[in-house]
Structure 1
């Protein structure tokens, strides 16, 4: 049953929102995964072919299909095809039950896979932005194969992800797989099928409780067994891996409708986006602080962002579900709502500042009286434009998403030309790498910033490493700054 609990507030009218039960899980840390696969060299693997190597850094092209480069060093396992035969790689380590977490990077159009016990493939694929998912997409359990079946039905028993939280080509992603191996009695007879307990992609649960009755297509072994090596696919396309962490303890877990986060008198309350954007006011807790004047905006195609009305800042972006508002409504309530999905935390410093000197630090907060929030207006599609006054300048701030792949933010002056020393702060991270054609990778390839052709940002040292600033440019069409976030 759906309940109309929550309001979408706009300057002129309000709409009731339908609430549905969530199927997303928040990102789990790797604290319990104490074992690692060393990537100082290739000694952890059996007879690696020349397409596999160890590197210190890699770069996978965002635009050019199946293109990856590397630099010398340690810590990253890389598959780049050469002229010789390109083959899969197997670990010396063999496993039964396993809880595995690994970071990976793929270029545009690439294809790979992780075979549990060398038998059951979890698909790796560039599925960025795809709407209709299959068992061949990123994070899926690949299908079994039987050519004795009717034509068109050779492939069967694959499991598709229930939502797409894939990131753009060339960005680091994380997959966590919790797997229970098949069980055998003393005579060797199988008494329990293998099972994928859970697969989480970029912190979001995409598959749960999937029974594997037999190996998937392309298994390295015809039989099933209690133990087997990890196998990484190397013959389909470039891929890089780092931070292999695992445990051999996998707890029992079922999805039967009886699992409760709250007590028996409470039900989870979520805000869903259906058919039109949603603007939702609440507190939101982020690392180190509580945003007390947040407007969370859920756009179409499962893309959302958080806007701090006190700072004029886009402070987080995410793909997946929209909001878990249970803390607002259950028990005594504390006014807090949580993003549901794969979240990238940005920064909650003010978006605008007057920078008079090159070494002038960006302010952590706004001086009293310099900023005044004026609410927001909705366009015909329901997308808000936030309005505020900064140092006497009227600002329009609008963030849009056209295709589910990126957010485009435009900050424009409503009135006279902007002063020449007015800047917008676009990004901050450990590093900001220029990739050409206005594209920049931020914070070790966590996300991209795309600028229009010919726009030159200011990239300078900050407390966290680097920050990117854009001047509010004055043209005959007005004063503005625009950039896109891609992830």
Structure 2
């Protein structure tokens, strides 16, 4: 048996022994710092302790109209409802990456069809629309139904409840990032649960959600959450976010 061969066996045995020790010692894979902060969960959709409550059912103090004046939607019975002609409203505070919880309801009285029935929208950073629509037995183009990233990506499934029933979106939104020269560094992404059902799974946002034409990519920073007045009395309640 040669000297080199004995050395090779010794080294290999030592490596194997060290590797075996590493994976059998539980302390090697324990991480103690940093310790995650404590967050008290909400109950029945209520806000967790570190959330920013945007609408608590009482007033529109956290919201503005398109002219940055006080929002003029109707507040009644713990909900706010779009009023025809009063226009879109937006949050006073601006956001980047967020977890969003929002509950919405289309009118119980069914009027119109397709895009004309219970239409509204949630615009993340005022540019990227998560569609709100009465899509219960109401056929329209798939990338325009409830839960779609409007005119971009249809939902994986239609999880809509009936007209007049409260529905829930739970959203994880990762904002697009830009290089110093304004070019896109990383596209925005969105995950959405509709009434507890996954309907957008880490979906890439292609750019602004346009009614006509292709998405546009324009560099921007933090921006508001906007709710759309689409001439339908669609209601919202229990709106909160967690900054990520």
TM beyond 0.5: yes
Conserved? CA contact 2:95–2:222, under 8 Å: yes
Distance 1:116 1:139, change over 3 A: same
Q: Residue 202 of structure 2 corresponds to which residue in structure 1?
A: 209
TM-score, normalised on structure 1?
Answer: 0.35
Alignment of 1:438-449 (within 5 A): none
Question: Which residue number corresponds to residue 159 of structure 2?
Answer: 165
- Which structure carries more helix by proportion? 2
CA distance in 2, matches of 1:118, 1:218: 14
CA contact (8 A) 1:215 1:224 kept: no
Which of structure 1's runs of 4+ aligned residues deviate more than 6 A? none
Residue 61 (structure 2) aligned to one of 19, 32, 43: 43
Q: Is the 8 A contact 1:125 1:138 kept in 2?
A: yes
Name which of 177, 197, 201 aligns with 1:183. 177
Residues 20-419 of structure 1 mapped to structure 2, 5 A cutoff:
31=48, 34-39=51-56, 40-46=58-64, 47-48=69-70, 50=72, 52-55=73-76, 57=77, 75-81=78-84, 85-107=85-107, 108=110, 109-130=117-138, 134-143=142-151, 158-196=152-190, 198-217=191-210, 223-249=218-244
1:161 Cα offset (Å): 1.2
Residues 134 and 43 from structure 1, CA distance in 2 versus in 1: closer, same or farther, beyond 3 angstroms?
same
Measured in 2, the distance between the counterparts of 1:226 and 1:192 equals 13
The question of whether the paired residues in 2 share the 8 Å contact of 1:88 and 1:231 is answered with: yes
TM-score, length-normalised on structure 2? 0.68
Q: Hey, what's the Cα distance between the residues in 2 that align with 1:248 and 1:242?
A: 19
CA RMSD of aligned residues (A): 2.6
Q: Deviations over 1:437-468 (max 9, x none)?
A: xxxxxxxxxxxxxxxxxxxxxxxxxxxxxxxx
Rounded to whole Å, the distance in 2 between the matches of 1:126 and 1:33 is 32
Q: Cα gap change, 1:128/1:223 in structure 2, threshold over 3 Å: closer, same or farther? A: same
Q: Distance in 2 between matches of 1:226 and 1:214?
A: 14
From the superposition, tell whether residues 42 and 171 of structure 1 become closer, same or farther in structure 2 (CA, over 3 Å): same
| Deviations 1:72-109, CA, capped at 9 Å, x for gaps | xxx3221132xxx3311111011111110111111132
Q: CA deviation at 1:132?
A: 7.9
- Give the CA deviation at 1:223: 3.3
Question: Compared with structure 1, are the counterparts of its residues 131 and 88 closer, same or farther at alpha carbon in structure 2 (3 Å cutoff)?
Answer: closer
* Match of residue 24 from structure 2: none
Counterpart Cα distance in 1 of 2:91 and 2:192? 21
Deviations 1:294-347 (A, max 9, x none): xxxxxxxxxxxxxxxxxxxxxxxxxxxxxxxxxxxxxxxxxxxxxxxxxxxxxx
**Native 8 Å contact 2:178 2:219 kept in 1:** no
Higher relative contact order (CA closer than 8 Å, sequence separation 6+): 2
